[in-house]
Chain A
Amino acid sequence: MARRRLALFVAAGLAVAVVLAFFLGPAASSQPDGLNRVAIDEGFADEEAGHRLDDSPLAGYQVKGVDGDRLSTGLAGAVGVTVTFVLAGGLFLVLRRRRTTE
């Protein structure tokens, strides 16, 4: 029972995260963030080097090949949320396994 309720809670939480990323991600402010604002105002913004993975399929919260900014950003966000969930959850499972088998 407790396990099922936890699974339900996590599933609901994950759904909220996917919905936030898909619908609100594309509506995010595109103004420079706090650090970039300071870099612009204080004159070191030009020091920024291009990102070496700028050509990757999800670079800049845009799915390559998907037309339409909103859809492209929303999809990139939904994929990112899912990948992050699996990685963080999986990492902790591995940590627990190692602890209990020692």
Chain B
Amino acid sequence: MHIPDGFIDAPTSLAAGAAAAGALVVCARRSGEMMEDKHAPMAGLVAAFIFAAQMINFPVAGGTSGHLLGGALAAILVGPYLGALCVSVVLVVQALMIADGGLSALGLNIVNMALVGAFAGYGIFLLARRLLRATRGGVMAASAVAAFLAVVLGALAFTAEYAIGGAGGASLTRVAGAMVGVHLLIGLGEALITALTVSAVLAVRPDLVHGARDLAGRLAPLADRTAAVRS
């Protein structure tokens, strides 16, 4: 979903850049306050994992591919503020080092993937958790729903940006329909990868899943449980 330069005009890109910068300053402040020192290596790990996962395009229907965006995953693991920062670091590295995602489109990409992904994703995750049981399965299901919807919302965010300053004069209803249509499929991949990753971290270190820290006491790590059985 990385927007290259040229799809969206300069004023819209600039406005998105300013909005993204402002939001990231808030994220930096809030995550500095809310999180602990142990989250520094976790922030690095979450960003590194998302960078790797974003490389791995999987095929979806009709000669099209998709890859994990990671906003919801990051927010579930380290909270929405630090999560949005992690995805933003990935997007900056890609734009500056890999030439993936346009330079003037960086703000747009941060809005669609980091901010919408982390904040909308986390909001949906919290809502879903309220409706589901407080178990590992419940957290996995909530992660899947949040990841799926976050991708679709990111696709809608692009559509809104295209409506404001899109180049090429494509029909808006067609762009909206096509963006949502293909991202429903990509969202399924996002849901699967997100749920499996959250589940893997829950199995080893439940205390490191920010969105399930209420369960940390009850879901003791596998190693501790086997130790308890032996003793």
Contacts and interface: CB of A to CB of B under 8 A. Distances in A.
Interface of A: 3, 5-7, 9-10, 13-14, 16-18, 20-21, 24-25, 27-35, 37-39, 41-44, 46-49, 51-54, 56, 58-61, 76-77, 80-93, 95-96, 98-99
Contact of B5 (A49, A59, A88): A49
A72 to B, nearest CB: 12
Interface string B54-97: 01111110111111000000000000001001100110111111
B99 A29 contact: no
A21 B63 CA distance: 23
B32 A98 contact: yes
Given A20-B56, A80-B51, A88-B43, A53 B6 contact: no
A96 B45 contact: no
Contacts of B117: none
Contact of B85 (A9, A54, A88): A88
A17 B45 CA distance: 8
A96 B55 contact: no
Given A58-B98, A80-B51, A92-B39, A10 B64 contact: no
Contacts of A89: 40-41, 43-45, 47
Nearest to A35: B1
A33 B6 contact: no
A88 B48 contact: yes
Contacts of B5: 48-49, 51-52
30 contacts: A9-B208, A20-B49, A20-B56, A33-B57, A33-B65, A34-B1, A34-B60, A34-B185, A34-B186, A38-B178, A38-B179, A41-B178, A44-B7, A44-B167, A46-B168, A47-B6, A51-B4, A56-B96, A56-B97, A61-B100, A76-B98, A81-B51, A84-B47, A85-B44, A87-B47, A88-B47, A88-B89, A92-B39, A92-B82, A95-B32
Given A10-B41, A32-B63, A42 B171 contact: yes
Given A9-B205, A42-B174, A37 B32 contact: no
A32 B53 contact: no
A93 B205 CA distance: 21
A47 B168 contact: yes
A35 B166 CA distance: 13
A25 B7 CA distance: 26
Given A34-B64, A84-B51, A25 B99 contact: no
B100 A84 contact: no
B64 to A, nearest CB: 4
B38 interface: yes
B136 interface: no
Contacts of B82: 92
Given A37-B182, A61-B100, A84 B3 contact: no
Contact of B57 (A7, A30, A56, A91): A30
Contacts of B60: 34
